[in-house]
Structure 1
């Protein structure tokens, strides 16, 4: 008797027992050779990265990057239809790992905790459209900010609540609070790398500017100069006190010498009077 194989059975026998899903691509690129929008955009990105590493110099549990590829899915990696944000921070990861970019499946599925896009008129629609949707719906990034380095009033920010971005409100100094980093984002006007502009900067919980390494070094230099000046002033005061003490000693010595001279004159006078037969006490 011949046993017929049903179509369903044939389909099952075609499946390889040790089949595995396709692995994510390994031929990832991390540099497309395209520069940032402008030199000011490049400086603005490095200001955020450098100041955060300076502020958290005693920590090794975070990674901050900028203008780097973020790979989060096989399709996106193959199509290369998304590069990455201008600045991002990932918390609770090994900070000393050498990374060319951020590959989500190599980082335990971790996405950025905070993102900043340094926008411009040519990228604004993407930054508040496609990218914002990706950060909200795919990354689930808790905090997203945009800022145009050529527009001092352009700072905007959103916080993820109930799976949707809710716009953040500025405080009376025009800053936005990022609870994830426990830092404010606000503007600061000054000159960095010979370019004067209004820059996006971090502020701590008390409103103090988070300094760049060069600013910390300059602050330390000024503090050292002030300490040296105080030490020199103390030395001058000590020298003045020594000189005053010497002058007082000299005056005391002069007074003692005068007193001794007066004593000697009185003794000579008394001796002379005795020679003359005159009682000195009667004079």
Structure 2
């Protein structure tokens, strides 16, 4: 009897090639109205806090490109962050991002849960590759976030020893995102007329990073309070002047 050694699956050959100009990118629609709103809110708060620099890339539904065994594979996360990218020539529009070629590796990827094939928690290691497998084994993204806005379930995975490990939340239900030095958590409320369970940022002191609309409202309220204080001071001065006149004293 001949014993056969168990087959060892060869690791795929991954290269980082620029996307060909004639490559047709998938034009899949978003799966629900919440996805672009969630992504926009995350980016808006970072911008309002002055945390977005020109060398960064923060985007939604932009294709991340890898060439696996000479086949181009593109995944478009709901939100991702790259700390430093190469600048584009004037007039050139970025239509995709290839890590290690267009700049640094992707540092954070977020996916908002769906039930599609090759979904957010799929470890399928053959085409069409599952997203978790693609981000973990191919792109090796350090932090992978999945979020179900309907169930209010937030999961954050760190890449450790080439595998994703689920990271626990703190007492407030927030999870530390080391690449941004911020906490990520769930906040229920309204933004731009839409009420739902949002993903929000908090700093290391527990302060909520405000959206630009919230900052504008704060400024409006502050200006209104200052105007009220000015009116109160003016009225107080007028009453004092009137009292002095009653006493025969010229307030001027």
**Residue pair 2:18, 2:98 contacting (<8 A) in 1 also:** no
Structure with the bigger percentage of strand? 2
Q: Tell me which residue corresponds to 1:43.
A: 37
* Aligned residue runs from structure 1 range 161-176, under 5 A: 161-176=160-175
Q: 1:92 aligns with which of 75, 84, 99?
A: 84
| Alpha carbons of structure 1 residues 58 and 47: separation in structure 2 relative to 1, 3 Å | closer
Q: Report the structure number with the largest CA radius of gyration.
A: 1
TM-score with structure 1 setting the length: 0.70
TM-score with structure 2 setting the length: 0.78
Q: In the alignment, is residue 52 of structure 1 matched against residue 51 of structure 2?
A: no
Measured in 2, the distance between the counterparts of 1:173 and 1:116 equals 20
- TM-superposition CA deviations, 1:229-254 (whole Å, max 9, x none): 12222222222222232233359xxx
Measured in 2, the distance between the counterparts of 1:23 and 1:92 equals 17
RMSD, aligned α-carbons = 2.6
Consecutive unaligned residues of structure 1, counting only runs of 5 or more, are 1-21, 252-283
Q: 2:97 aligns with which of 102, 117, 120?
A: 102
**Residue pair 2:19, 2:65 contacting (<8 A) in 1 also:** no
Structure with the bigger percentage of helix? 1
| Alpha carbons of structure 1 residues 100 and 214: separation in structure 2 relative to 1, 3 Å | farther
SS class of match (1:155): strand
| Alpha carbons of structure 1 residues 246 and 95: separation in structure 2 relative to 1, 3 Å | farther
Consecutive unaligned residues of structure 2, counting only runs of 5 or more, are 1-16, 123-129
| Alpha carbons of structure 1 residues 37 and 159: separation in structure 2 relative to 1, 3 Å | same
Aligned length: 223
